[in-house]
A and B are shown apart, each in its own frame.
Chain A
Amino acid sequence: MKNMFRQIFHSPKFVAGFVIFVIILLTMWLYPLINPGNPLEMIGVGTFARPGTYFSLYDAVDAPTETLRLSDADDKRIDASMSMEDRVAMVAWFEQAGVDVGDLDITDTDALLDLWRANYDSSTRLPGMTNAKRNYYKRLDRSIQSMQGADKYSVMHKDADSGEMVERSTINKTDYVNVAQVVNVKTLPLGTDNFGRDVLKELVSATKTSIVIGLIAGIVATLIGLTLGLLAGYVGGITDDIIMFITNIFTVIPSFVLLILISYSIGQEQRGASVVAIVIGLTSWTWTARSVRSQVISLRNRDHVNLSKLSGHSLVRIILTDILPYIASYVVMAFILQVSSGILAEAQLSLLGLGPKTTEVPTLGLMMNWAMLYSAHTNGSWWAYFPVILTITLISFSLNLMNTGLDQVFNPTLRD
């Protein structure tokens, strides 16, 4: 046993898959400790906020302000806020108006602005200039004036008794707040979804639910498949015929169609995560049953089974001690694949809107469903669905990698 584990952990494929899976599991467990709270809580207003740091405007007003007193702070601010297009447009205006620009360097903000103030007149009508263009220059002029002005902004609020606007505070152009001093700063590494929920928090919780769904589906499918396969393979005869008849019927009907029909008939209200998991398990046991059966058939005529019979062991005991240990590694591998396909089946179902009900827990499939319903893919909100796809891919990739690694350990013909 110890030797077997050592062998398994020497397989690079298994180890790689195992490490990825453990990292996913650890994140699932640790992240809620760092960032507790309900994953479905709507923290933002509006839909699909980009990944980044957000803080409340109301809180920022109340935060202590710092005034920047550097002599060239004003110049630098203006310098930074004037785009290259604006500068080029200004030079174009000078040329049309016949102003001599000489050897003006357009990156020299001071000289450019001096020339602008000296020459620009909004009432000048230049020949060949469209209204739109003229309005653009007017807007540009206004923004240059406001940048240079030293006026303040007033923050007002409505008095509850008199209904008059009362000035609460004023903000100078040179006032800044330290983000660290504002209460309610939220960093959203993956932004928010259409309901204004933190995608990362939701994703971690959804991964957990989806893995649980995969495990339940895998356990249900493996148990049913294993029991039927062992019985059919070992007992044989009419039992085998009946079990294989049922298995073949289930194999012929595409399990996904069956899954859709069952999920639909259960109804939205009864469809919790565990119900969906069990339904997935109930429709995906067939190939486990078939492959276990064929393995058992090759085992049941082995001498050690005959010897066990001659020793007077019961049917159950022979199946459990002489057959099951020989196919255990195979069953474990089948189970891993069942978990992986269970997660995928849930995602498929939810994408069609037949997944678990949407009010309790997020699942990976539901997140994709929401992203699709609110057109995240067409409005460029990649953070609402791409991390979900990546997570699903990583989970099934790691599980399949583990399966391949185990296969190499247990199947001598694949050993290199």
Chain B
Amino acid sequence: MSEIRERKDYSNGPLCLSGRGVTKVFGLGDNRTVAVDHVDFDFHEGEFVSIVGESGSGKTTLSKMLLGLMTPTEGEILFEGKPRDISTGKKRKEYWKGIQAIFQDPFASYNVFHKIDSVLLDCIHLRGGKNLSKKQKVEMMTEACSFVNLKFSELTNKYPFELSGGQMQRLMIARIFLLKPRILLADEPTSMVDACSRATILDMLFELRRETGMTIIFITHDIGLAYYVSDTVYIMEHGRFVESGKADDVILTPQAPYTKRLISDVPKIHEVWDLSTVDLLKEDA
């Protein structure tokens, strides 16, 4: 795990996704809510970016705009240095070859009426593998599943709801493995799974990045986790970025009061854990 902590400096590398004055407003009049308020950002190729904020700070709205599922009220998003154009279905499809997502709730991410095979086959088709032979497709799916420690032969002809939450989330990563997008947007992918699966999933994300060099935009409410995984951290409060920069700079020397509060809210990050109870249990055994 030590190699993960060695953070590289990506700030001079090529840009892959950036935004200028991106704003999203919901409702009108008294119901007017500014979810995302004029945010600027620059994500570089190969970077592991975290966007940290509490619930309702606009993280998910921002991620939907980044994915092109929602149009910004104001501002522009640049994809690889050029203004993003997703006005037609064809252009959107092209854009989504470059950016993909893993969502928070694995149980809601699958269409319960479709089998696992069709989820993976869709990815192969999106990558232009429609005309491959059935054997090749199965090989690709098997490879993707073994990448996330799943056996395709056990999954084929099953429905997603027959899997556990951790397995479903791993299958999501298998999907990303097949698609190999340049940017992966992970919207709290670990918040709905147990701690053990969480480590596995994070590990797989690093593995993916090492293999394909993709940019990972990691959205989380857990600043400790963000510090652990990312190169760059953006702190979001009420739709604004209050602080951003290299993970070490932001977390170790926080400037904004909100960041300080977030860090102090993390339970016992700087203290040694009391392991005496664990030892007692061992002696009993």
Interface bracket on A: 10 to 19
Query: Is B111 a contact partner of A308 (Cβ separation < 8 A)?
Result: yes
Chain B residue with Cβ nearest A302: B108
A residues within 8 A CB of B114?
321
Per the bound structure, the CA–CA distance linking A322 and B109 in Å amounts to 11
Chain A residue with Cβ nearest B123: A311
Q: Within the complex, what minimum Cβ distance (angstroms) separates A390 from chain B?
A: 41
B109: contacting residue among A304, A314, A315, A326, CB under 8 A = A304
Query: Is B105 a contact partner of A303 (Cβ separation < 8 A)?
Result: yes
A64 at the interface (CB under 8 A from B): no
Chain B residue with Cβ nearest A328: B113
B103 at the interface (CB under 8 A from A): yes
A303 touching B123 in the complex, CB below 8 Å, given contacts A309-B69, A321-B113, A325-B113: no
Per the bound structure, the CA–CA distance linking A293 and B259 in Å amounts to 42
User: Considering only CB atoms and an 8 Å cut-off, how many residues of chain B contact the other chain?
Assistant: 23
A312 at the interface (CB under 8 A from B): yes
Query: Is B96 a contact partner of A312 (Cβ separation < 8 A)?
Result: yes
Query: Is A306 a contact partner of B96 (Cβ separation < 8 A)?
Result: no
Contact with A along B126-150 (1 / 0, CB 8 A): 1000000000000000000000000
Which residues, 246 to 286 on A, are CB-close (under 8 Å) to B?
none
Query: Is A310 a contact partner of B108 (Cβ separation < 8 A)?
Result: no
Query: Is B111 a contact partner of A304 (Cβ separation < 8 A)?
Result: yes
Per the bound structure, the CA–CA distance linking A322 and B113 in Å amounts to 8
Q: Within the complex, what minimum Cβ distance (angstroms) separates A97 from chain B?
A: 96
B122 at the interface (CB under 8 A from A): yes
A307 at the interface (CB under 8 A from B): yes
Per the bound structure, the CA–CA distance linking A326 and B110 in Å amounts to 12
B101: contacting residue among A307, A313, A325, A326, CB under 8 A = A307
Query: Is B89 a contact partner of A314 (Cβ separation < 8 A)?
Result: yes
A residues within 8 A CB of B111?
304, 308, 321-322, 325
Query: Is B103 a contact partner of A303 (Cβ separation < 8 A)?
Result: yes
B residues within 8 A CB of A306?
64, 67, 69, 101, 103
A302, A309, A311 — most chain B CB neighbours (10 Å): A311
Per the bound structure, the CA–CA distance linking A303 and B110 in Å amounts to 8
Query: Is B110 a contact partner of A304 (Cβ separation < 8 A)?
Result: yes
B residues within 8 A CB of A313?
122
B8 at the interface (CB under 8 A from A): no
B residues within 8 A CB of A325?
111, 113
Q: What 9 A-B pairs come out closest when comparing CB atoms?
A: A312-B93, A303-B103, A325-B113, A303-B109, A303-B108, A311-B122, A304-B111, A312-B126, A310-B96
Q: List 6 A-B contacts (CB under 8 A).
A: A306-B103, A307-B103, A307-B110, A311-B126, A314-B89, A325-B113
User: Which residues of B are at the interface with A, using a C-beta cutoff of 8 A?
Assistant: 64, 67, 69, 89, 92-93, 96-97, 100-101, 103-105, 108-114, 122-123, 126
- 15 extra A-B contacts, CB within 8 A, seeds A303-B103, A321-B113: A303-B105, A304-B110, A304-B112, A306-B64, A306-B69, A306-B103, A307-B101, A307-B103, A309-B69, A309-B96, A310-B100, A311-B126, A312-B92, A325-B113, A326-B113
